[in-house]
Amino acid sequence: MEAPLRYLKKTCGKPPRGPRGVDVEIIWQDHELGSYPVIAVVWDDYVTSYPHEYIEKCMVAYEHFELTEEIHERGRLLSEIHNQMEKVPGVHL
């Protein structure tokens, strides 16, 4: 888990800072069968607004880390096509 975390921090740059800031951390996710570690963007809702741009950067970087370049590129193109289709009047996805 440490390698992807370092990759995200290096690739995405410094997170936006508020009074308490935003960070990328390894947290434990509870499940009915136990707990497991996950990488998460964390912030305090009461002092920092939702860091949507930073979360998006981290999601893209993590997918790039996890997937081969070809699969990553196809996913990026599909996402781009989907975003363009949402802008077409009368098209409801």
- Domain presence at residue 18: yes
Residue 37 has φ and ψ, to the nearest 5°, of -80, 140
- 16-58 residue pLDDT tens: 876 568 889 999 999 899 999 999 999 988 878 888 899 999 9
Please state the domain count of the chain.
1
In this structure, what token pair is assigned to residue 23?
């960070």
Q: What's the pTM value of the predicted model, to 2 decimals?
A: 0.63
Contacts of residue 66, defined as CB under 8 A and 6 or more positions apart, other chains included, come to 4
- Domain presence at residue 51: yes
CA distance 10 to 4: 10
- Domain presence at residue 72: yes
Predicted confidence band at 86 (pLDDT cuts at 50, 70, 90)? Answer: confident
For residue 70, give its domain range: 2-86
- Domain presence at residue 92: no
CA distance 28 to 87: 38
- Domain presence at residue 21: yes
